[in-house]
Amino acid sequence: MKGGGVSSTYPLPPSKRRWRGLAVAVFGLVVLSMLVPLVFLLGIHNGFQSTGFGSEDRSSTPSHKKYENYDPVEQDVPQIQSEVDKSTHLDNLMERLKPNLPKDVITIANDAANKTVRNDPLQVTVKQKTDSSPVQKEVPKPPPQENQIGMSQVTEHDKGATSDETGKPCQLEFGSYCLWRKEHKEAMKDRVVKQMKDDLFVARAYYPSIAKLPSHDKMSRELKQNIQEFEKILSESTTDADLPSHMEKRLQRMEAIIRKVKSVILDCNNVDKKLRQILDLTEDEAHFHMSQSAFLYQLAVQTMPKSLHCLSMRLTVEYFKSQSLDMDISSDKYVNPLLQHYVIFSNNILASSVVINSTVMHAKESGKQVFHVVTSGQNYYAIKLWFFRNSYKEATIQVIKIEDFNQEHDVANPGHQSLSNEYRVSVHRVSKPQITQMDTNYISVFGETHFLLPQFFPDLKRVVVLGDDIVVKEDLSPLWSINMEGKVIGASYFCSLKLGQLKSYLGEEDFDEGSCSWMSGLNFVDLVKWKERNITQKYHRLLQVVKQRTKVTSVNGVALPAILLTFEGLVHPLEASWLLSGLGQSFKVEAQAIEKAAVLHYNGLMKPWLELGIPQYKAYWKKFLVRDDLFMSQCNVNP
């Protein structure tokens, strides 16, 4: 019956009813087949979040717990971040499982996740707070830690930028690779070459195993062909610029065959052995480079920089070309005991120049100052011409050649006479002896030549010995009014090393085990008391005692205990404000201590005239450089 809007009341035929029921069942199965994988995936995701498995969860969950009380105004942000992390984790999981899932399931899952984020009202609120910034960056940063990088104060240059690849802050300590890498960062020129080497290692690891399977002969030949191709290219290329064209396609082809090989069930023992061989080779190579870097570091600090060598050579040549100049002017001031006499043992032109310049610049009466620079014959002419060309207010400067002095005064001249000695000493921490960590310090003491002081200056009563690695910041004239109380030398004590810790070297000699060692760099010497106590003879006697006890033939190897024992009980301690040491070894010297010190001592390997010098301390030294000399510019001297 046909009528407008009237439905038919006739029942459907049985065949059509069966068809409709079957269609409904099929449609239900299709819907379930689409929803079950999605529910399964969401179930895995929730399980990860609750149990704490997975690298993403380990990195995200603790972070919002750590910072949740940092800013009370935005306490809802960590919770939002957790929801975002869940979505990000789901996306990452879907990406990993993508090849094994139907495309429609992936599309539905992604749409559902995106819809959840778009419909979240809190998500919109956060976006309004941050304008165009992504939500992931709304997690508040933790408050700065004062001791996080080993210093109580951090400059603006260091904030936020000194970190390594993992995001951890760089440690401002000796030998910090993180800091060195940041300062010397260069564009990587062999990124593709390194990737090729990595792929070649993996291919070589799998090839022996896949070659044993006859059923995968084609795959084996393809892998072998790629290995041979990569070996040939790498034998001729060290940087990306050396690689042939279309290298990216070859990389993709290699990685594709590696993925195919990984999908084959192989004997893991063979692969494991090959990878362990590669690991051993890599560790050996790393150990070699570490040893090489340590050697090169020692070479760098013990070798004169090219610019300083150029300066010395140019000055030496100029000295012999300028024979008409009267440079051997003798002065009565050299032997006048009423003046202030300073002695510097040095082979370094710039170092000795900075010491003298910084001293006279802070002197109230520079005309009373006489400087005696004792140097070797190799550097004598260059240093002599330098001080002839450059004036230092009204101070008088004498340059002494040690070889001429030994010949003139019939002094025994051994094969090597050190001008100064510096020792690297590592001792266990006294406060925590159970900990294996040790404190390492560089102790500067007198060298072999220092024990000739009474013979160098027989007419003088007192001298001040200055190291060539110091910078003077105040007037030193008050040193001459110090009451020595019968002591031989005045020095700064260094109580981190005591004589008791050197007992095995000192033998049965009578000494106070609690006596502190002392530092050179700034020393006031009473030459009269020196002669009365026969210090030079005492030193040589103790040197032989230590040699016999330790069976060491090197003078420098046994000099430290002999020198400390020679002056045991004969050292007048200077106030701590006179000398501040450690600027050549530690990044942790406080700025306040530097401002209070009268003399800065760059003891350690990182001297200020080297590229390895600590940058924040170099300014104090460079301030007193003489820069207007012609040879400085010609040799490009710019420490």
Residues 294 and 325 in one domain: no
Q: Which of 9-23, 25-39, 249-263, 537-551 has the lowest mean pLDDT?
A: 9-23
Q: Which of 75-79, 214-218, 226-230 has the lowest mean pLDDT?
A: 75-79
**What is the pLDDT at residue 170?**
59
Cα–chain center distance at 89: 36
Question: Domain span at residue 575?
Answer: 306-408+417-635
Q: Residue-wise over 151-178: b if at least 16 C-beta within 10 A, else e?
A: beebeeebeeebeeeeeebbbbeeebeb
Q: Which of 98-102, 394-398, 533-537 has the lowest mean pLDDT?
A: 98-102
Which token pair is 632? 């400085």
**Comparing 163 with 424, which gets the higher pLDDT?**
424
CB 603 within 8 A of CB 521: yes
* DSSP secondary structure letter of residue 145: P
Q: E strands, 300-436, where?
A: 340-345, 369-375, 396-401, 420-428
CA distance 242 to 196: 13
Please check whether residue 534 lies inside any domain of the structure.
Answer: yes
Residues 619 and 506 in one domain: yes
Cα–chain center distance at 510: 43
Q: Which whole-number Å values give the CA distances from 18 to 10, 13, 15, 25, 32, in the listed order?
A: 16, 9, 5, 11, 21
The mean pLDDT of the chain is: 74
CA distance 162 to 182: 7
- Among all chains, which residue has been given the structure tokens 């993180």? 178
Q: How many CB atoms lie within 10 A of CB 403?
A: 14
Domain CATH number, residue 348: 3.90.550.10
CB 471 within 8 A of CB 600: yes
Q: Report the pLDDT averaged over residues 414-423.
A: 66
Secondary structure of the chain: what % helix, strand, coil (to 5)? 55, 10, 35
In the predicted structure, residue 254 carries a pLDDT above the cut 80: yes
SS (H, E, C) 516-563: EEEEEEEEEEEHHHHHHCCHHHHHHHHHHHHHHHHCCCCHHHHHHHHH
Which token pair is 231? 């070996």
- Among all chains, which residue has been given the structure tokens 């003399």? 599
Q: Which of 302, 323, 355 is the last residue of a domain?
A: 302
Q: Return all residues near 257 (Cβ < 8 A) that are at least 6 apart.
A: 203, 219, 222, 223, 226
Q: Report the pLDDT averaged over residues 493-515.
A: 75
Of 19-33, 270-284, 315-329, 447-461, the range with the highest mean pLDDT is 447-461
In the predicted structure, residue 81 carries a pLDDT above the cut 70: no
Residues 328 and 227 in one domain: no
Please check whether residue 39 lies inside any domain of the structure.
Answer: no
Return the closest-CA partner of residue 233 out of 278, 196, 183: 196
**What is the pLDDT at residue 63?**
35
Residues 329 and 254 in one domain: no
In which band, very low, low, confident or very high, does the pLDDT at 120 lie, cut at 50, 70 and 90? very low
Which token pair is 443? 């102790």
Q: Which whole-number Å values give the CA distances from 88 to 45, 50, 77, 125, 136, in the listed order?
A: 11, 16, 16, 19, 10
The two beta strands, 462-466 and 489-498, are unpaired
Q: Which of 267, 285, 302 is the last residue of a domain?
A: 302
In the predicted structure, residue 155 carries a pLDDT above the cut 70: no
In the predicted structure, residue 340 carries a pLDDT above the cut 70: yes
Please check whether residue 170 lies inside any domain of the structure.
Answer: no
In the predicted structure, residue 575 carries a pLDDT above the cut 80: yes
Q: Which of 206-215, 288-297, 602-611 has the lowest mean pLDDT?
A: 288-297
Q: How many CB atoms lie within 10 A of CB 499?
A: 20
Please check whether residue 277 lies inside any domain of the structure.
Answer: yes
In which band, very low, low, confident or very high, does the pLDDT at 293 lie, cut at 50, 70 and 90? confident
Q: Which of 45-49, 460-464, 515-519 has the lowest mean pLDDT?
A: 45-49
**Comparing 291 with 255, which gets the higher pLDDT?**
255
- Does the CA dihedral 278-280-281-285 come out positive or negative? positive
Residues 500 and 388 in one domain: yes
**Comparing 179 with 285, which gets the higher pLDDT?**
285
CA distance 577 to 572: 15
**What is the pLDDT at residue 240?**
86
CB 609 within 8 A of CB 584: no
CA distance 227 to 262: 16
Residues 287 and 318 in one domain: no
* DSSP secondary structure letter of residue 163: B
User: Please, which residues bridge with residue 493 across strands?
Assistant: 518
Q: Return all residues near 577 (Cβ < 8 A) that are at least 6 apart.
A: 596, 597, 598
**What value, to the nearest 5°, has the Cα angle with vertex 513 and ends 510 and 519?**
105
Q: Report the pLDDT averaged over residues 116-125.
A: 36
Q: What is the DSSP string of 473-503?
A: -S--GGGGG---TT-SEEEEEEEEEEGGGGH
Counted residue by residue, the chain has a size of 639
Please check whether residue 129 lies inside any domain of the structure.
Answer: no
**What is the pLDDT at residue 506?**
64
In which band, very low, low, confident or very high, does the pLDDT at 99 lie, cut at 50, 70 and 90? very low
In the predicted structure, residue 310 carries a pLDDT above the cut 70: yes
In the predicted structure, residue 24 carries a pLDDT above the cut 80: no
In the predicted structure, residue 173 carries a pLDDT above the cut 70: no
* DSSP secondary structure letter of residue 264: S
Residues 197 and 345 in one domain: no
Model confidence over 356-379: pLDDT tens digits?
A: 999 999 999 999 999 999 999 889
Residues 342 and 488 in one domain: yes
Cα–chain center distance at 20: 78
CB 561 within 8 A of CB 584: no
Residues 268 and 314 in one domain: no
In the predicted structure, residue 402 carries a pLDDT above the cut 80: yes
User: Please, which residues bridge with residue 344 across strands?
Assistant: 373, 466
**Comparing 162 with 308, which gets the higher pLDDT?**
308
Q: Return all residues near 359 (Cβ < 8 A) that are at least 6 apart.
A: 342, 369, 371, 395, 466, 472, 476
In the predicted structure, residue 327 carries a pLDDT above the cut 80: no
**What is the pLDDT at residue 542?**
87
In the predicted structure, residue 624 carries a pLDDT above the cut 90: yes
Residues 277 and 311 in one domain: no
**Comparing 529 with 321, which gets the higher pLDDT?**
529
Q: What are phi and psi of 619, to 5 degrees?
A: -60, -35
* DSSP secondary structure letter of residue 169: B
Please check whether residue 20 lies inside any domain of the structure.
Answer: no
In the predicted structure, residue 7 carries a pLDDT above the cut 50: no
Q: Which of 302, 318, 346 is the last residue of a domain?
A: 302
Residues 379 and 521 in one domain: yes
Residue 424, CA atoms < 13 Å, CB-side half-sphere: 8
The amino acid sitting at 51 is T
**What is the pLDDT at residue 36?**
61
Cα–chain center distance at 364: 41
Please check whether residue 147 lies inside any domain of the structure.
Answer: no
Please check whether residue 18 lies inside any domain of the structure.
Answer: no
In which band, very low, low, confident or very high, does the pLDDT at 348 lie, cut at 50, 70 and 90? very high
Residues 266 and 343 in one domain: no
Q: Report the pLDDT averaged over residues 476-492.
A: 93
H helices of 137-176, in order, are none
Number of domains in the chain: 2
In the predicted structure, residue 294 carries a pLDDT above the cut 80: no
**What is the pLDDT at residue 599?**
96
CB 474 within 8 A of CB 468: no
The two beta strands, 599-601 and 470-472, are antiparallel
Return the closest-CA partner of residue 226 out of 262, 202, 245, 190: 202
Model confidence over 552-566: pLDDT tens digits?
A: 666 667 788 888 889
Model confidence over 427-455: pLDDT tens digits?
A: 665 555 444 566 777 888 898 899 999 99
Burial class (CB in 10 A: 0-12, 13-18, 19+), 484: middle
**What is the pLDDT at residue 620?**
94
